[in-house]
Structure 1
Amino acid sequence: MTDSSRGPGPVLDRRALLRAGGAIAVGAGALGGAAALGSLVTAATGPRGAVSEELRLGYLPITDAAPLLVAHGDGYFEQQKLIVGRPVLFRSWSSLMEAFLTRQVDLIHLLMPSAVQLRYVIGADVKVVAWNHTGGGAITVAPGVTDIGQLAGTQVAIPGWWSIHNILLQRVLRAHGLTPVARRAASRSDGTVELVVMGPSDMIPAMATGSISAFTVADPFNAGAVAQGVGSLHMLLDQVWRDHACCVTVVHRDLIENRPETVQALVDAAVAAQLGITADRPAAAAILSGKGYLPQPPKAVEVAMTGTVPDSDGGPARNRIDFHPYPFPSFTAELVRQMRTTVVDGETRFLDGLDPAGVHGELVDDRFVRTAIARHGGPAALGLPASLTRHERLI
């Protein structure tokens, strides 16, 4: 593993990224209709600290990216005097990470477990500066599946090995007496379920053809499967880990070192966008669809952004997705502990030497989001506890 305290950080080794258990569903890079980055390369595009005046944002077409996309589409970046180009849409997590590591984009939203992977397996000198959202993921099952136990002997799709979706799906499987396996055919008699990594856009077609019995992923793909009649929503992942983070905003550390005012403006814009989304979810959904950021049917996007479900604790109905920016240290520590019990097709030995409590300080820089929270009404305005501390709740 590269020592990230020395030099400009690693030149990306694509095979190392795949071996490390990243999202293996490698797509063709950017989708049609979005600004093209061209062919992904395997060497850094410039020296350390080389960032264009126009910042480049990479994302996957899921509601997890909503704060950054709305910040672009509704003028929050402009209010901060930032020049951010048209966000570039990628089909897979691996292509997004590769573009980020090779400096073709300057900031991304990324699965929090994958951010841990980049830092400790790839050795990338990256920092999480804020959470994008909480919740927003679900387990969708094929028609006729009414109980998790029916998944024994079948294939279930996940968006990446190091995803919160994989981690929480496996908790659900084990709670129902099933055993998740990788690269091994599932057996109904043995109660095993084969996990396969699949690009989110491929999940609905795979379920429609019967290739998979279920998938877990971010919205609006769950809502899309229901709208198309090819699947039903079995449960939200928020029912497994209350208010868990999924995607976070990640930048290179040298952007923080060389342009801290730019990073502060980025986080300020994202936090303002989160408040704007919460205040008018239908309007946010209209921006995501109307400006072409999310290519899924507008109704699916609207359901994902505005939908609610009953609260398992008996309280008011809960949103399918919420938007809270603060990266709780307790979450990072618990995430590392959960990663240790998760089956992946890739490198896991790096977890053995990690101090769960210490990972947060090494990976997360919360100075900018703390300032942004204070500037936007304080913790209460964003639905956060005044102490900015919490206890994690998992079933």
Structure 2
Amino acid sequence: MNHPTLSTSRPFRIGFVPLTDAAPLIVADALGLFARHGVMVTLSPEAGWAALRDKLAFGSLDAAQLLGPLAIALAVGAGGLRRRLTVTAGLARNGNTVVLSPALAAAIGGADMPLDAHRLAEAIHARTEEGLPPPTLAVVFPFSSHNYLLRHWLAAGGLDPDHDVRLVVVPPPRVARALADGAIEGFCAGEPWGSHAVANGAGRFALATGDIWPDHPEKVLAFGEGIAAREEDAVIAITAAVIEAALWLDDPANLPAAARLLQDRAFPELPLSTISAALEGRVAAAPGQASRSLAAPMRFATATCPQRAEAAAWLAAMRRWGHAAADEAEALAPWRSDLWERAAARVSPRPAMGRAIPSPLLSLPLESDA
């Protein structure tokens, strides 16, 4: 399908953090899909979410791969910075892993995977009785799916995430090194960094976030404040290219090529096998072991329509943990499925809108939280 060049000739600068779920942006660029839809795009790799947020908020980036809860936080001013972004697409479902240090995994003992949080709670209570401090676990950003899904899982095991563990923030590309160095005892981060830690022997796989909320939404495509109103046609064209890339990624025949593209453009330091595992819905193998298939593998095409009902689950979690008390209409205003529909109309075959996936995060607080 050919698309005319848009009236704007300026390039759009789109940021991403090196993660497997940046694949729709990387593929759209590498395969020339942005150009085919009539827009010029420059991708900008960023070291972590704080830098990406600031660049998007202050105009150094026009758009970005973004944490869903972070779009909510910016909409309501949580964290001290307020911006009304526009979310036109989701980038992936699932795709994060929880990895523990070998020492913490050994303290838990033999356990079936995915790990039951009650087993972790038993190990933590045992070390508390010995007078040892709580374990330090990392998430990639305070306003992140990783933080809220990890908190939900810990609470389900009877743990208080604000007292029974020490939660810290470590950028995704640094979590495996932080675990190997002993700075943290576990983390929840996007792939391929969990697989990288497991393959290097620095960590032990515990569970995937898809085990907590199967097929949960992950990152979104978000445009800076005011850009969708000023340059709507370009925003729709960029979104259409991302939708096409997601459809391409969900064809198993394209995964070897996708892994090579990601290695070349995002993870030159990682072996191809580690990147391929994440795309194929597996966790890379620990030394001497076979890789593990995930019950809820990463998916791309079914994620593209930005579902406000799913975003409401992140808002519920933010309220549960005292991170936001905002009005729902204000908090979820960035989600624009209408712009997705106009973008999807430019893609052949046109993708289905799909449905929102029910979330356990919308359940009432657990007794352990009272």
Using structure 1 for the length normalisation, give the TM-score.
Answer: 0.74
Equivalent residue for 1:391, pick from 339, 358, 361: 358
Equivalent residue for 1:273, pick from 245, 249, 254: 245
Equivalent residue for 2:160, pick from 170, 179, 188: 179
1:143-200: CA deviation from partner (whole Å, max 9, x where unpaired): 141442235611001111111100010111111121112xxxx6xxxxx101011112
Q: SS in structure 2 opposite 1:169?
A: helix
TM-superposed CA distance for 1:239, in Å, is: 1.1
Find the aligned partners of 1:334 and 1:203 in 2 and give their Cα distance: 26
Structure 1, unaligned runs of 5 or more:
1-50, 187-191, 310-315
Find the aligned partners of 2:55 and 2:225 in 1 and give their Cα distance: 16
Alignment partner, residue 251 of structure 1: 223
TM-superposed CA distance for 1:367, in Å, is: 1.8
Find the aligned partners of 1:319 and 1:200 in 2 and give their Cα distance: 21
Alignment partner, residue 67 of structure 1: 24
Identity percentage of aligned residues = 26
Q: SS in structure 1 opposite 2:188?
A: strand
Q: Greater RCO between the two (CA within 8 Å, min separation 6)?
A: 2
TM-superposed CA distance for 1:389, in Å, is: 4.7
Alignment partner, residue 56 of structure 2: 100
- The answer to whether structure 1 residue 322 and structure 2 residue 278 are counterparts is no
Query: Retained in 1: the 8 A contact 2:307–2:337?
Result: no
Q: SS in structure 1 opposite 2:168?
A: strand
Find the aligned partners of 1:245 and 1:227 in 2 and give their Cα distance: 26
Find the aligned partners of 1:287 and 1:77 in 2 and give their Cα distance: 16
User: One-letter code of the match for 2:76?
Assistant: Y
TM-superposed CA distance for 1:251, in Å, is: 0.4
Q: SS in structure 1 opposite 2:41?
A: coil
Find the aligned partners of 1:93 and 1:317 in 2 and give their Cα distance: 26
Query: Retained in 2: the 8 A contact 1:308–1:318?
Result: no
Alignment partner, residue 19 of structure 1: none
TM-superposed CA distance for 1:366, in Å, is: 1.6
Query: After superposition, where does 1:1-395 map in structure 2 within 5 Å?
Result: 53-85=10-42, 87-121=43-77, 122-144=81-103, 145=105, 146=108, 147-149=119-121, 150-151=123-124, 153-181=134-162, 192-279=164-251, 280-290=254-264, 292-297=265-270, 298-308=272-282, 318=295, 320-323=297-300, 324-342=303-321, 348=323, 351-355=324-328, 359-360=331-332, 362-374=333-345, 375-380=347-352, 385=354, 388-393=355-360
Query: Retained in 2: the 8 A contact 1:242–1:393?
Result: no
Structure 2, unaligned runs of 5 or more:
1-7, 109-118, 126-133, 284-292, 364-370
Q: SS in structure 2 opposite 1:265?
A: helix
Query: Retained in 2: the 8 A contact 1:305–1:321?
Result: yes
More helix by share: 2
1:243-270: CA deviation from partner (whole Å, max 9, x where unpaired): 1112101102422122211111101100
1:33-89: CA deviation from partner (whole Å, max 9, x where unpaired): xxxxxxxxxxxxxxxxxx97011111110112110111111211121122112x211
Query: Retained in 2: the 8 A contact 1:155–1:195?
Result: yes
Query: Retained in 2: the 8 A contact 1:137–1:238?
Result: yes
1:350-373: CA deviation from partner (whole Å, max 9, x where unpaired): x32423x6633x221122211333
User: One-letter code of the match for 1:133?
Assistant: A
Q: 1:236 to 1:102 in 2, by over 3 A?
A: same
Q: 1:240 to 1:139 in 2, by over 3 A?
A: same
Find the aligned partners of 1:53 and 1:133 in 2 and give their Cα distance: 28
Q: SS in structure 2 opposite 1:359?
A: helix
1:77-109: CA deviation from partner (whole Å, max 9, x where unpaired): 121122112x21111111111111221111101
Find the aligned partners of 1:305 and 1:90 in 2 and give their Cα distance: 21
Query: Retained in 2: the 8 A contact 1:306–1:319?
Result: no
User: One-letter code of the match for 2:339?
Assistant: F
Find the aligned partners of 1:151 and 1:304 in 2 and give their Cα distance: 30
Find the aligned partners of 2:356 and 2:51 in 1 and give their Cα distance: 34
